[in-house]
Amino acid sequence: MHVPLDEHLHTDECNKIIKELQRCHDEMSLFRQFFGACNKLDWEMRACTKKERLARTAENLNSSKDRTARMQKKMADLDGKNWRDVLKEREEKMNKESASN
Does the pLDDT of residue 99 top 80, yes or no? yes
Q: What is the mean pLDDT of the chain?
A: 89
DSSP code, position 36? T
Q: What pLDDT, on a 0 to 100 scale, did the predictor assign at position 8?
A: 84
Other CB atoms within 10 Å distance of the CB of residue 101 = 4
Q: What pLDDT, on a 0 to 100 scale, did the predictor assign at position 76?
A: 81
CA-based max dimension of the chain: 84
Chain centroid to Cα 59, Å, comes to 7
Instruction: Please write the tens of the pLDDT for every residue from 60-90.
Output: 999 999 999 999 888 888 877 888 888 898 9
pTM of this structure: 0.66
DSSP code, position 86? H
Q: What pLDDT, on a 0 to 100 scale, did the predictor assign at position 92?
A: 92
Q: What pLDDT, on a 0 to 100 scale, did the predictor assign at position 47?
A: 95
Q: What pLDDT, on a 0 to 100 scale, did the predictor assign at position 45?
A: 93
Q: Which residues contact 78 (CB under 8 A, 6 or more apart)?
A: 86
Does the pLDDT of residue 1 top 70, yes or no? no
Q: Which of 7-16, 44-53, 91-100 has the highest mean pLDDT?
A: 44-53
